[in-house]
């Protein structure tokens, strides 16, 4: 039966393969410990014997030397500050004219403005599709590759809930928030004197009220003698003697 030579094989053909012909996984070991497994459905597992997706990596952080990094993507050539020594991951969505090629990573001067920046780019729009950039200084740019502050956005910002929190802890949820009260202005000149006491006068008949009241302005009249009852310009008759009339003038 043909076998794979540890020093390499020659004379292989498209029909030659490394694997199993029955419903069993292909297991690769090092130092008698499993390093990689390909299950019959084609899923590949590293650190797991039951990968549920095309590639599943399980990291065991237990032990004396835990490994916090599960997957590392690294380019090892220092090619200068203005070049593209990319260390990127690509996510491709095939959808005809609307297909997208999202790239995420670092090392690209063309995509992210500097090889030291980390970014997310939609390659379907070329370098202009770099929608998020993070610099080594921690500045975040949205729509810009050169953020000069902690967050720089080339476009509008829309807060749908909660508003914006400022360094003093205050929250502004609307642009119509009132500002501080301004200084008090100068006092204006005094206005004309105002009569606050009701004006009442006696008359023989109602027609005389227009002559008695100033400017001929009569509020109302009653039968009987006059009496001021309140500081509102109101008067009442002391009795129902209709031989006399109480004229109530406008103050």
Condensed to tens digits (0 to 9), the pLDDT of residues 36-89 reads 999 999 999 998 999 999 999 988 766 666 677 788 888 776 666 667 778 889
Task: State the Cα–Cα distance between residues 27 and 47, nearest whole angstrom.
Answer: 12
Measure the CA–CA gap between 150 and 142, rounded to whole angstroms. Answer: 11
DSSP state of 188: P
Q: pLDDT digit string (tens) for 136-166?
A: 999 999 999 999 999 999 988 888 888 888 8
The residues spanned by each domain of the chain are 1-72, 84-154, 199-249
Q: Higher-confidence residue: 110 or 67?
A: 110
Report d(CA 149, CA 133) in Å as an integer: 12
Residue 149 to residues 118, 120, 121, 127: CA-CA distances in angstroms? 16, 19, 21, 22
User: At residue 148, what are phi and psi to the nearest 5 degrees?
Assistant: -100, -5
Which tops the pLDDT comparison, 9 or 67? Answer: 9
Pairing outcome for strands 218-223 and 44-46: unpaired
Confidence check: pLDDT of 130 > 80:
no
pLDDT band at residue 247 using 50, 70 and 90 as cut-offs: low
Does residue 198 register a pLDDT over 50?
A: no
- Greater pLDDT, 210 or 156: 156
Quote the distance between the C-alpha of residue 225 and its chain's center.
75
Tokens 């690209």, residue located: 108
Q: CA 151 to CA 87: how far, in whole Å?
A: 24
Tell me what pLDDT residue 128 has. 79
> Is the four-CA dihedral 174, 175, 176, 180 of positive or negative sign?
positive
CA–CA distance, 200 with 214 (Å, rounded to integer): 11
Residue 244 — pLDDT band, cuts 50, 70, 90?
low
Which residues pair with residue 248 across a beta bridge?
200, 220
Give the Å distances, CA to CA, from 94 to 6, 90, 97, 98, 100: 40, 13, 9, 8, 7
Burial of 246 per CB tally in 10 Å (0-12, 13-18, 19+):
buried
**CB 202, CB 238: distance < 8 Å:** no
- Count other Cβ atoms within 10 Å, centred on residue 247: 23
Residue 115's contacts (CB-CB under 8 Å, 6 or more residues apart) are 80, 81, 82, 83, 84, 85, 106, 107, 108, 109
């Amino acid at each position: 039966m043909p076998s794979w030579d540890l020093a390499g094989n020659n004379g292989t053909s498209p029909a030659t393969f490394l694997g199993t012909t029955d419903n069993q996984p292909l297991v690769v070991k090092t130092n008698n410990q499993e390093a990689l497994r390909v299950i019959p459905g084609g899923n590949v597992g590293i650190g797991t014997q039951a990968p549920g997706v095309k590639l599943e990596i399980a990291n065991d952080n237990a032990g004396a030397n835990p490994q916090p990094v599960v997957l590392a993507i690294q380019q090892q050539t220092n090619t200068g500050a203005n070049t593209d020594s990319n260390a990127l991951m690509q996510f491709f969505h095939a959808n005809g004219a609307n297909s997208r090629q999202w790239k995420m990573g670092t090392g690209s001067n063309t995509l992210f403005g500097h090889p030291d920046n980390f970014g997310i780019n939609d390659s379907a729009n070329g370098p202009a599709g770099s929608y998020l950039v993070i610099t080594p200084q921690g500045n975040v740019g949205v729509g810009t590759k050169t953020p000069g502050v902690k967050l720089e956005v080339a476009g509008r910002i829309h807060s749908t809930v909660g508003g914006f929190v400022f360094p003093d802890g205050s929250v502004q949820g609307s642009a119509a928030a009132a500002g501080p009260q301004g200084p008090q202005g100068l006092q204006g000149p005094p206005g004309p004197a105002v009569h606050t006491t009701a004006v009442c006068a006696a008359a023989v008949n109602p027609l005389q009220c227009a002559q008695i009241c100033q400017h001929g302005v009569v509020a109302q009249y009653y039968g009987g003698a006059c009496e001021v009852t309140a500081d509102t310009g109101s008067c009442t008759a002391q009795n129902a003697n209709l031989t006399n009339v109480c004229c109530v003038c406008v103050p």
